[in-house]
Amino acid sequence: MNPLFSAPRLITQCDAPAMAAIHQLCFPDAWPVELFSDYFDKPEWIGVFGFAVDHTAGSIAGFIIGRTTYDTNDILTFAVNPAYQGQGVGRILLETYLDAVPCACLLEVATGNTAAIHLYNTFGFEIIASRHDYYDSPDPDMRDAYVMTRRVAS
């Protein structure tokens, strides 16, 4: 593991402001800090969990959040601070997350996000559908989404 980053740890409510800040850097339709805080204190979000990787400077380098309901897990959001992209943080987070998920996993990813699609493919995700104008992005290549799934062996 890269010595600039900690081992993945569970996210906490204290991480909400940092997660919102990273989300703002990564997505034009970023989620507000209140949404990240809600995951920890609203009963309707039962089953939500995630991991963060910290930079040795004390900031969060990236995080992943998902929700397990019944026999499926949905990755709700996944972001790596652009300053740390390409350094293995996303791979570490996704591997840790998938090790914790005993069921099939679904996610949406912008069709133009080739780096993320490649990462998901290396972990066994496959495209099963697409969604037109799924994201509110000024970049036309980032508006449509693929729905990807990773099945678990039975």
HEC profile for the chain? CCCCECCCEECCHHHHHHHHHHHHHHCCCCCCHHHHHHHHHCHHHCCEEEEEEEECCCCEEEEEEEEEECCEEEEEEEEECHHHCCCCHHHHHHHHHHHHCCCEEEEEEECCCHHHHHHHHHCCCEEEEEECCCCCCCCHHHCCEEEEEECCCC
State the pLDDT at residue 128. 96
State the pLDDT at residue 14. 94
The residue type of 67 is R
**All domains in the chain, ordered by first residue:** 9-150 (3.40.630.30)
The whole-number mean pLDDT for each consecutive block of 10 residues of the chain, a chain of 154 residues, reads 87 95 93 92 85 92 92 93 94 95 91 95 96 86 92 74
Positions marked active-site: 108, 120
State the pLDDT at residue 154. 60
Dihedral sign, Cα of residue 70, residue 73, residue 39, residue 51: positive
d(CA 75, CA 15): 18
